């Protein structure tokens, strides 16, 4: 299934650009997807909500059998390589974005927060970076989106009203406030922006349908 968006709204670095190679960043992106298939749910994806019980939150999913997913050790080594390269090439926004996503896959949320903050410093108009930071910050704060994460989600949607991750998180917040109608609208809008038939699309649809049922709409 499709996990964390591999590039978000950020462009890939030019082939001649200094810093972490495109190959390393691309390879890390592949590992993010592989480990996701092993048990990591897309951050902000509402399948992790206990919608039927009305219990919203940031994704509760984490890599299963930590330390035993296919290629995890190799993935961790690549993450370390990327972090080392970024020490000497701190202006590589795409490298920081991938580092943040990689830390989230490893459930290293404080490190993910720091990496995504670097992306926003370099690209203040990047909606995906704001959504990624909100999610990592929410996970670091015990799966809570109130406060700064909520502000970041609002900023992401201001920058890009169709950002699927920000919409997913906004739906989580709406459900938590007892507004399943608003939650369904956010998730239905996000559904139009993801690959039809993907795990993400199926989970968004299920969450939206559950929210609609809560307000008596099939």
Q: Which of 122, 119, 117, 92 is nearest to 12 (CA)?
A: 92
Residue-wise pLDDT tens digits, 160-195 = 999 998 999 999 999 889 999 999 999 999 999 988
Question: pLDDT tier at 35 (50, 70, 90 boundaries)?
Answer: very low
Q: What is the mean pLDDT of residues 38-55?
A: 36
The answer to whether residues 131 and 165 touch, using CB atoms and an 8 Å cutoff, is yes
Q: Give the pTM.
A: 0.72
Question: pLDDT tier at 76 (50, 70, 90 boundaries)?
Answer: confident
- pLDDT at position 64: 39
The answer to whether residues 159 and 125 touch, using CB atoms and an 8 Å cutoff, is yes
The answer to whether residues 139 and 60 touch, using CB atoms and an 8 Å cutoff, is no
Q: Which of 55, 58, 40, 49 is nearest to 3 (CA)?
A: 40
Residue-wise pLDDT tens digits, 93-103 = 999 998 998 89
């Amino acid at each position: 299934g499709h996990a964390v968006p591999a590039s978000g709204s950020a462009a890939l670095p030019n082939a001649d650009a200094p810093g972490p190679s495109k190959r390393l960043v691309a390879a890390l992106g592949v590992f993010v997807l592989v480990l996701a298939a092993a048990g990591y749910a897309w951050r902000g994806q509402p399948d992790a909500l206990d919608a039927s019980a009305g219990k919203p939150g940031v994704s509760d999913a984490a890599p299963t059998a930590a330390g035993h997913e296919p290629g995890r050790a190799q993935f961790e080594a690549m993450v370390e390589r990327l972090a080392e390269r970024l020490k000497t090439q701190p202006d590589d926004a795409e490298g920081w974005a991938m580092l943040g996503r990689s830390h989230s896959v490893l459930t290293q949320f404080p490190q993910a927060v720091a990496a995504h903050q670097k992306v926003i410093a370099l690209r203040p108009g990047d909606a995906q970076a704001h959504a990624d930071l909100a999610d990592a910050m929410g996970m670091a704060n015990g799966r809570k989106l109130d406060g700064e994460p909520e502000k970041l989600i609002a900023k992401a949607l201001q920058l890009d009203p169709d950002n699927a991750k920000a919409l997913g998180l906004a739906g989580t917040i709406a459900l938590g406030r007892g507004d399943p109608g608003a939650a369904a609208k956010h998730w239905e809008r996000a559904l139009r922006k993801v690959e039809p038939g993907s795990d993400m699309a199926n989970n968004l649809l299920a969450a939206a349908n559950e929210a609609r049922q809560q307000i008596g709409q099939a």
